[in-house]
Amino acid sequence: MDAKFDHNETKVAVIGAGIVGLMTALEVQRTGRHVVVIDPGEPGGRQAASYGSAGWISTSAIMPVSVPGLWREVIGFLMDKSGPFVIRWAYLPRLLPWLLRFVWAGRNWKRVEEGARVRFELCRHTAIDHKNVAAEAGVSHLIEQKGQLYIYRDRSEYLAASVAWKMRRRFGIKFTELDDIDLHELEPNISERYHFGVRLDEGCHCTDVKAYCEAIAELIRKRGGEFIQTRATGFEILDGRLRAVKIANASVECAQAVVTAGIGSKELAAAAGDHVPLESERGYHVVIADGGNTVTHPIMPADGKMGITPTRQGLRVAGQVELAGVKAAPDWRRAEILRRFAPSVFQASFASYKVIDQWMGHRPCTPDDLPCIGPAGFCAGLFYGFGHGHAGLAQAPATAKLLAALVAGQEPQCDVSAMSVLRF
């Protein structure tokens, strides 16, 4: 048996270099396997959903988007072009099957709580896991644990969301309610229009997601991992078992592969015989150069439904859900909505502040808001880790550990059956 064969017997291809892919490559590497990361872009680059996220690392990211009564709002999503959730009319015929499944997934609170329980397992240790990885990669300063702040115009607005907060409390998620005085003592620059807040006490945020991803990639390289900057196009499968990952006019021979390619995972899964209802909930962000003095906590205004995060580049305002498919051009009015809302959140005016970046990207979402984690349905040696929607950063460490265990033939730390690709 030659050395080349031995090497391929332990080689694992990880397709995708966003935060989920990089965390997965790192964890698979810990099992003694040789990892090859395949992505057409740079690690954590603008092609990755994690690049454009609000940077929140939260144990509380448990609530699915679809909840009882949401179906009544669908017509509004089609009509209101300025709201936080928008559906383009032209895409509706193609979207309809996914949309029906999405509404059905949130048909009652029992189903919502079942989904929240699975999501909690993916989030419960995220803060400590990210802090450990950041320390290992030499970038501890990029993860700050100051808590996360939800702000409301009054207590009644908070009580309107009480189902979600009660569910978080049942799962043991720690948070502190803040009255008007406490809120403005904590963040003096918050506008006087907000009179109530909730601080998620254990929440963290990343002040530079791209730099964090680059540091993880460098750690993988130092430990012998490879990066191939190209697009994976499919698989070579023989007798129901993976033999290689196809790239351009070549292939990467490997014993196993993990698909963590975000929205691109849909096409790759189909190439392996698994047809997944994965849609892009297109998100936007703007970064405002504010000198770093506006707030110290990441903030979520309930009336804006956006994450506002202090980062190394400036104040990042991230949000919006736009259902329009992958190929449609960005609608930069969505980013402008975020920019215009910012002045209402703070005492100081943003009128003269410069927008230094804007971004649109694809959050890969399943109808039930649960990722696909586990083995492929029809190809031995192939595994999936995609579909994290808005919670990829929070769910990445747990996803990586589950996938590393599955690749190594070990029992994962929690039951992954609810996240099987075959549930569809």
Q: What are the pLDDT digits (tens) for 99-156?
A: 999 999 999 999 999 999 999 999 999 999 999 999 999 999 999 999 999 999 999 9
Is residue 141 assigned to a domain? no
pLDDT at 63 over 60: yes
List the one residue out of 6, 7, 9, 24 whose CA is nearest residue 383: 24
Q: Is residue 26 part of a domain?
A: yes
Q: Is 355 within a domain? A: no
| Number of domain units in the chain | 1
Six-digit token string for 351: 């009128």
| Residue 403 covered by a domain | yes
Alpha-carbon span 297 to 187, nearest angstrom: 8
Q: Are 50 and 393 in contact (CB under 8 A)?
A: yes
* pLDDT bracket for residue 44 (50, 70, 90): very high
d(CA 360, CA 63): 23
Asked if the model's pLDDT at residue 74 lies above 80, the reply is no
pLDDT on residue 5: 34
Identify the band that residue 83 occupies on the pLDDT scale cut at 50, 70 and 90.
confident
pLDDT at site 349: 61
Query: Residue 69's pLDDT is what?
Result: 86
**Domain holding 391: CATH number?**
3.50.50.60
Which one-letter amino acid corresponds to residue 41? G
In a domain, 64, yes or no: no
| Percentage of residues in the chain having pLDDT higher than 70 | 96
| Residue 2 in this model has a pLDDT that exceeds 50 | no
Are 2 and 12 in contact by the 8 Å Cβ rule? The answer is: no
What per-residue confidence (pLDDT) applies to 73? 75
Low-confidence winner among 112-116, 260-264, 348-352, 394-398 (lowest mean pLDDT) = 348-352
272 has pLDDT over 50: yes
In a domain, 120, yes or no: no
> Nearest CA to 406 among 383, 388, 387, 386?
383
Whether 43 and 17 have beta carbons less than 8 Å apart is answered as yes
**Who's near 166: CB < 8 A, 6+ residues apart?**
none
The answer to whether position 69 is within a domain reads no
Structure token digits, residue 366: 């399943």
Q: What is the three-class DSSP state of 367? A: coil
194 located within any domain: no
Question: Looking at residues 351-363, what average pLDDT do you find?
Answer: 85
Range name among 66-70, 102-106, 416-420 with the lowest pLDDT average: 66-70
Domain range holding 395? Answer: 1-58+208-278+366-424
Rounded to an integer, the average pLDDT of 379-388 is 98
